[in-house]
Chains A and B, each alone.
Chain A
């Protein structure tokens, strides 16, 4: 039970970094921390005590009731990592261009649009 609560605490730490910090790169790292917390929660959900990895080896007899970890969260986490990779890539590209145009990384000074 404590693993799941620690995952939520990690998510809240990432959310704190996104909301409070002023440097653009620290905000991007905050989004990365939130993503790690969600992927970790997904993997921990599929775990069973005393179970092995979900593979059938060459000379193993497949018996009913041999315990394996759930393989579906592993596939979902792989897709989620690829999606978040693309999100971080486009945020970094935007940050590089913003630095070229504004000259600063401080998000309180990058506020030309008002109202």
Chain B
């Protein structure tokens, strides 16, 4: 009786428990990744490890909510251009050493600061941040490429 006009919207992703826990913990994972990258010159980690952690946070959202939250806002070409911008920024940072007199390619021209502080040890801090950006974009591109393959096949 009146049931044939109703449309059932398909609920993608995993169950409600998984979605709630993912929503709570993704902020903490992102902050931990940024912390690992910022303190790369003092503590373990650095740009690479921080980038992997941030990409893992995004993959957590992708897996628990289904791919619809990404397909509207982010196709893989956007992620690929973020990766290209990251590599370009890294090359520019490393070329800054050439403009000083008698400079080499990957030379350290920033001030070294006082030891054990946050803003210290020269060019390591900016390069950690740029590698964080590029690395997370790269891993996200790889994962989106694998996930979006099914989307094109379905169309």
Q: Which residues of A contact B (CB under 8 A)?
A: 58, 78, 82, 86, 89, 92-93, 96-97, 100
Q: Which residues of B contact A (CB under 8 A)?
A: 48-49, 116, 142, 145-146, 149, 153
A93 touching B116 in the complex, CB below 8 Å, given contacts A82-B48, A100-B153: no
Q: Name B142's contact: one of A78, A89, A100 (CB within 8 Å).
A: A89
Main SS class of interface, A: helix
Tell me, in angstroms, the Cα distance from A92 to B143 when the chains sit together.
Answer: 11
Question: In the bound complex, do residue A96 and residue B153 qualify as a contact, i.e. CB atoms below 8 Å apart?
Answer: no
Cβ of A82: which chain B residues have Cβ within 8 Å of it?
48
- B118 CB to closest chain A CB (Å) equals 13
Cβ of B145: which chain A residues have Cβ within 8 Å of it?
93
Question: In the bound complex, do residue A96 and residue B116 qualify as a contact, i.e. CB atoms below 8 Å apart?
Answer: no
Tell me, in angstroms, the Cα distance from A96 to B49 when the chains sit together.
Answer: 27
- A41 CB to closest chain B CB (Å) equals 21
- A3 CB to closest chain B CB (Å) equals 23
The residue of chain A having its C-beta at the shortest distance from the C-beta of B146 within the complex is A93
Q: Name B146's contact: one of A58, A86, A96 (CB within 8 Å).
A: A96
Q: Name B149's contact: one of A58, A78, A96 (CB within 8 Å).
A: A96
Cβ of B142: which chain A residues have Cβ within 8 Å of it?
86, 89
14 contacts between A and B (CB under 8 A): A58-B116, A78-B48, A78-B49, A82-B48, A86-B142, A89-B142, A89-B146, A92-B146, A93-B145, A93-B146, A96-B146, A96-B149, A97-B149, A100-B153
Tell me, in angstroms, the Cα distance from A100 to B149 when the chains sit together.
Answer: 11
Tell me, in angstroms, the Cα distance from A79 to B48 when the chains sit together.
Answer: 9
Cβ of B49: which chain A residues have Cβ within 8 Å of it?
78
Tell me, in angstroms, the Cα distance from A92 to B153 when the chains sit together.
Answer: 17
Tell me, in angstroms, the Cα distance from A93 to B49 when the chains sit together.
Answer: 23
